[in-house]
């Protein structure tokens, strides 16, 4: 037995049975995961409170919103409606028990008409509408001037030649206008297909302020930041363990005895 030699493996230098990355790293990674979860879930909860999803069934808002598109609309009150907004409203004289999506082109006190040199006019001012199709369809729906009563709205579809909008209800008692109180939300983005945020209707700025954009971008940043923190914090332990193993190297054989 005395002539036999024994080979033993020496323990790796600095080996520890504790968690990889050290106590400070583990605490920081745990905080990152907790903060990330709070941001991620908070963004979705905030969105569920502020926004509602809708499906637009027709092409009356094309090319801004195509038929079958899924949109997110911010819940708003009647005092938060401005010219140029794409809004969701319900009016039984238009459609029974179904929301309608149209663009507000005039508010109470305005006089709206079409068309002068192919453009919509509000209070005698021609409105530039770059969101309309380039095929001239906006010029096909001439209608006489309408004075919008206080507390009401005049709405058009972006596909002017085929949209059943205020121009299709000019013979009604309200001359095609809709009550502000009928509006429940303002469309802010097309999420399917992913066309993104609607552009502001800057052509109406000459008549007054436009609506401020809602918090949708902030919610998106919260969700993305939360996801990054959760993934980063969760990956800290395995990465630290792998890097620590590489820095210590492999086992060293002991001398024969």
Measured CA to CA in angstroms, residue 170 lies from 25, 110, 158 at distances of 69, 16, 18
- Catalytic (active-site) positions: 60, 102
3-state secondary structure of 138: helix
- Say which residues have a Cβ less than 8 Å from residue 202's Cβ, sequence separation at least 6: 84, 128, 210
Torsion of CA 99, 102, 108, 113, to 10 degrees: -140
Instruction: State whether residue 33 is helix, strand or coil.
Output: helix
How far, in Å, CA of 199 to CA of 189, rounded?
Answer: 9
Question: Distance between CA 71 and CA 69 in Å, rounded?
Answer: 6
For the chain, what's the residue count? 257
Q: What is the dihedral of CA 31, 33, 39, 44, to 10 degrees?
A: -150
Alpha helices in the chain (DSSP H): 22-50, 216-248
């Amino acid at each position: 037995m005395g002539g036999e030699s024994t080979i033993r493996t020496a323990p790796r230098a600095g080996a520890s049975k504790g968690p990889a990355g050290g106590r400070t790293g583990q605490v920081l990674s745990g905080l990152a995961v907790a903060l990330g979860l709070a941001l991620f879930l908070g963004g979705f909860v905030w969105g569920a409170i502020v926004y509602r999803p809708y499906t637009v069934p027709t092409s009356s808002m094309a090319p801004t919103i195509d038929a079958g598109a899924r949109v997110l609309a911010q819940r708003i009150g009647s005092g938060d409606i401005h010219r140029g907004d794409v809004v969701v409203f319900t009016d039984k004289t238009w459609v029974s028990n179904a929301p309608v999506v149209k663009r507000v082109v005039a508010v109470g006190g305005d006089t709206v008409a079409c068309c002068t040199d192919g453009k919509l006019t509000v209070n005698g001012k021609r409105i530039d509408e770059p969101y309309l199709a380039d095929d001239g369809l906006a010029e096909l729906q001439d209608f006489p001037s309408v004075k919008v009563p206080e507390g009401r709205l005049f709405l058009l579809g972006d596909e002017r030649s085929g949209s059943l909008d205020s121009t299709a209800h000019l013979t009604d008692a309200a001359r095609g206008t809709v009550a502000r109180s009928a509006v429940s939300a303002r469309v802010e983005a097309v999420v399917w297909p992913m066309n993104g945020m609607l552009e502001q209707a800057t052509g109406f700025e000459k008549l007054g302020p436009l609506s401020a954009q809602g918090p949708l971008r902030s919610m998106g940043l919260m969700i993305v930041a939360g996801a990054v923190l959760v993934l980063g914090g969760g990956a800290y332990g395995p990465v630290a363990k792998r890097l620590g193993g590489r820095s210590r190297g492999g086992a060293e054989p002991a001398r024969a005895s």
